[in-house]
Structure formats: structure tokens, C-alpha cells
């Protein structure tokens, strides 16, 4: 029997995942966490065959949490279950130590398969992510696109800005101060040699990091 810890801040989603896995017969949800700190407590106090982790949760979350867990428990497979469809999120998660990446809208069809794959020591990714990983390895450090220069937190802020989120909204979502987000935004523009938010959004669309900006409204160029 495969004992899994599921971490997601939405009760309804966790209930849905438990229902999906209950039907398998060989995978049991032996624990649940709703924020990053609970994840760490449960990982440290239990025996798990795999961790199914949401990329964006309250408290400690995302790439930082993956790195910390893998630093303490390098043999624990981590499957990222995320609403983010952008391949770069998957690539960054895998580079941090995750064993797989699955979009939530594919969970019903692929979750059990993904868990079995990572528990057996394999890597669960789609073809586009596998190709990006290969290209990153071939390009070598410093030769990738402009957004590859960003830190994991900067990339997270970059995507949210590109989607039309304001600084205050991003600060609230990431549990950071407005000043911190503003500093990240400034560094992002500098690292990517962009002049303003409009340039940033155009870059993200051109590089297929986000979809069409329809519905974003007027762009703030400052």
C-alpha cells in the first residue's frame, strides 16, 4: 500500500483527491495539510511514500518548501499538483527536487498514475516540460532566455504581474509586504532589460509564458 500525504489549502480539493485515490485500492491518503508549516510538521513526524504538494499555499510554500523538504528527506518523492499550466513552473519545481508535476485539471485522470510513477523512482512530466529541461541542460548556465535569470520568487512575481495583478494584490497573495513586491518588480525589470509593466506583459505573451491578455484592461506602464 502506498501511503500519501496530501497538501493543499482547499478542503474541497483535498476531499476530491481522497475520493479519486480511494478508488485505486493501492494508494491511501494517510495525512492532510492545509499550509506549508503543517506540511513540514507532518513530513517530520510520519512515514510517507510520497508527498502530493500544491505549489501555492499559505505559510511556507512553493519552490522554497520543495528545497527544504528534499534537503531533510532526499528520498521522499514530491509530486507537484498545481493550477499553473506554465511549463516554467514545472521546470523550476523539478530543478528544486520535485519528482513530478501535474496540473489540477488533469488530476482525476492522471493522479494515481503520477503517484505510482514517482514512488517507483521515475519522473512524471509532460513532453513539453521534458523538452524544456533538455534544452536548459544543452544551453548551459547564462545562455537561456531573459526570464531564466530570475530567482524563483522573482519568477513567481513576474508571472503574477504579467497576468495583470497589481503590487498590492500580489503582496496579499504571497503574504509579503507591498515594499518587498515593489523591490522584486524593480529587479525583474532590470534583470530582463524591460522598461515597464507593458513591456513585461508583452514579453510574457511573446514567450508563451501566459495566454492572451484579453480582459486585463489598461496596462500600467510604471
> Looking at residues 139-150, what average pLDDT do you find?
73
pTM: 0.69
Across 19-31, average pLDDT: 94
Q: Is the pLDDT of residue 211 over 70?
A: no
Regarding the domain with residue range 2-136, which homologous superfamily does it belong to in the CATH classification? Answer: Response regulator (3.40.50.2300)
pLDDT of residue 145: 79
Percent of the chain with pLDDT over 70: 89
The percentage of the chain sitting over the pLDDT mark of 90, rounded to a whole number, equals 59
Q: What residue segments make up the domains of the chain, in order of their start? A: 2-136, 146-206
Residue range 146-206, CATH number: 1.10.10.10
How far apart (Å, rounded) are the C-alpha atoms in residues 191 and 158? 11
- Does residue 213 have a pLDDT over 70? no
Confidence of residue 65 (pLDDT cuts 50, 70, 90): very high
The rounded distance, in Å, linking the Cα atoms of 187 and 33 is 33
pLDDT one-digit tens code per residue, 119-134: 999 999 877 777 777 7
Cell of 18: 481522497
> For every residue of the chain, which 3-state class applies, written as one string?
CEEEEEECCCHHHHHHHHHHHHCCCCEEEEEEECCHHHHHHHHHHCCCCEEEECCCCCCCCHHHHHHHHHHHCCCCCEEEEECCCCHHHHHHHHHHCCCEEEEHHHHHHHHHHHHHHHHCCCCECCHHHHHHHHHHHHHCCCCCCHHHHCCHHHHHHHHHHHCCCCHHHHHHHHCCCHHHHHHHHHHHHHHCCCCCHHHHHHHHHHCCCCCCCCCCCCCCCC
Per-residue pLDDT reduced to its tens digit, 32-54: 999 999 999 999 999 999 999 99
**pLDDT band with cut points at 50, 70 and 90 for residue 143:** low
Inform me whether the pLDDT recorded for 100 exceeds 80: yes
Determine the pLDDT at residue 202: 92
pLDDT, position 14:
94
Amino acid at each position: 500500500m502506498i501511503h500519501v500525504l496530501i497538501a493543499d489549502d482547499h478542503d474541497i480539493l483535498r476531499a476530491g483527491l481522497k475520493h479519486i485515490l480511494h478508488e485505486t485500492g493501492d494508494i491511501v491518503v494517510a495525512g492532510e495539510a492545509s499550509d506549508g508549516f503543517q506540511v513540514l510538521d507532518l513530513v517530520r513526524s510520519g512515514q510517507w511514500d510520497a508527498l502530493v504538494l500544491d505549489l501555492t499555499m499559505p505559510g511556507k510554500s512553493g519552490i522554497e518548501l520543495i528545497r527544504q523538504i528534499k534537503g531533510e528527506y532526499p528520498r521522499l518523492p514530491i509530486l507537484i499538483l498545481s493550477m499553473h499550466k506554465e511549463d516554467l513552473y514545472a521546470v523550476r519545481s523539478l530543478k528544486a527536487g520535485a519528482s513530478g508535476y501535474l496540473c489540477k485539471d488533469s488530476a482525476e485522470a492522471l493522479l494515481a498514475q503520477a503517484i505510482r510513477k514517482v514512488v517507483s523512482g521515475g519522473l512524471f512530466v509532460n513532453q513539453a516540460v521534458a523538452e524544456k529541461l533538455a534544452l536548459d541542460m544543452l544551453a548551459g548556465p547564462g545562455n537561456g532566455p531573459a526570464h531564466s535569470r530570475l530567482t524563483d520568487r522573482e519568477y513567481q512575481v513576474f508571472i503574477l504581474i504579467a497576468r495583470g495583478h497589481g503590487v498590492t494584490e500580489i503582496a496579499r497573495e504571497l503574504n509579503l509586504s507591498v515594499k518587498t513586491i515593489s523591490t522584486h518588480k524593480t529587479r525583474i525589470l532590470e534583470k530582463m532589460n524591460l522598461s515597464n509593466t507593458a513591456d513585461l506583459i508583452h514579453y510574457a505573451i511573446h514567450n508563451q509564458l501566459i495566454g492572451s491578455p484579453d480582459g486585463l484592461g489598461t496596462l500600467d506602464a510604471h
